[in-house]
Amino acid sequence: MSRSKVTLAGVELKNPVIPASGTFGYGREYEKFYPLSRLGGISVKGTTETLRTGNLPPRIAETPSGMLNSVGLQNPGIDHFIAEELPYLKTKDIAVIANMAGRDIEGYRVIAEKLDSTDVDMIEVNISCPNVKAGGAAFGVSCEGAAAVTKAVRAATKKPVMVKLSPNVTNIADIARAVEAEGADAVSLINTLLGMRIDIRTRRPVLRNNVGGLSGPAVFPVAVRMVWQVANAVKIPVCGMGGISTWQDAVEMMMAGATAVQVGAAIFNDPYAPVKIAEGIERYCEDNGIADISEIVGSVEPW
């Protein structure tokens, strides 16, 4: 797929398609369907300082054109990831993006410092998860908080740093500029939109956490808009996500300004979705005489 190679903050990807953090685990289950090497990269399950069991169930619910989740960053912790998951992933000929989240500034620094001595290709800093009652969500909703986390992570590692932004803000472009100023090499967006549903029979929210993150096709137009706004506000590359289900969605997101894309909720409906999207992008290039997919990045012409 030579036409669809991209470089994201100095990291070379065979194609621009990356399974989004929290939707693909560490890729082990999906190897039953296809080699991970057919993907551009993998953003692993969000990693914290220590083991987290996550939120109490029910913590996933379907919605029209999407889903609500409140998993709560369930994961085995950074030490387990480095010792057990990373060596496995580094044998798969795929760029490994270590998604991480801390409960406080020091937590982010500690995780980044540990990842710095590993061979992960990039660190994705989650400052936007709406499902954790303490930690990440508080930092992503203000320029000051986002900048403080980015500054701490940047000081702790020489790895490329990509900051994952929350859509649950007044002006996402301001947040993007704040993290760029503190040394972020890229930004990824959008994380899930905060949502809620109520069971009218029980009069209780459908999620035990009451609220959760909305993802899936329903959020795609919002994601395209925010990617376009951020791409026009910063000079660092953008990794776009939010409701991408088809290769056409991916191409549209790239035209809005995304250098690469992440695919999340679509994987639950079709585990082959990331591969189909990557292959579709390659065919699109061939059919339209595009020698390098990067040619379309930010190519939208507003009225």
pLDDT digits (tens, 9 = 90+) for 154-172: 999 999 999 999 999 999 9
Asked whether the predicted pLDDT for residue 232 surpasses 60, the reply is yes
Confidence label for 128 from pLDDT (cuts 50, 70 and 90) = confident
Q: What is the pLDDT of residue 132?
A: 45
pLDDT, position 160: 98
Assign 79 to helix, strand or coil. helix
Pairing of strands 95-100, 122-126: parallel
Instruction: State the pLDDT at residue 29.
Output: 94
Whether 129 has a pLDDT exceeding 80, the answer reads no
Span 242-293, pLDDT tens digits: 999 999 999 999 999 999 999 999 999 999 999 999 999 999 999 999 999 9
Residue 2's pLDDT is: 80
Q: What confidence score (pLDDT) does residue 130 get? A: 43
Q: Is the pTM of this model over 0.85?
A: yes
Residues 300 and 212: their CA atoms lie apart, in Å, by: 32
Domain boundaries, the chain: 2-54+75-196+216-296
What is the 8-class DSSP label of residue 141? T
List alpha helices for the chain, DSSP H: 78-80, 86-89, 105-116, 136-140, 143-156, 172-181, 220-231, 247-256, 266-269, 273-287
3-state SS, residue 56 = coil
Closest CA to 137 of 211, 224, 234, 66: 211
Q: What Rg value do the Cα atoms of the chain yield, rounded?
A: 18
DSSP state of 108: H
Mean pLDDT of the 57-61 span? 97
Q: Could you report the per-residue pLDDT of 22-45, keeping only the tens digit for each?
A: 999 999 999 999 999 999 999 999
For residue 115, pLDDT over 80 is answered with yes
Q: Which of 111, 105, 227 is nearest to 165 (CA)?
A: 227
| Gap between the Cα atoms of 144 and 209, Å rounded | 27
Rounded CA separation 85/227 (Å): 31
- Of 60-74, 130-144, 167-181, the one with minimum mean pLDDT is 130-144
Domain 2-54+75-196+216-296 has CATH 1.10.10.10: no
Could you tell me the strand order of the sheet in which 258-263 lies? 17-19, 258-263, 238-241, 186-189, 161-164, 122-126, 95-100, 41-43
Annotated active-site positions, please? 129
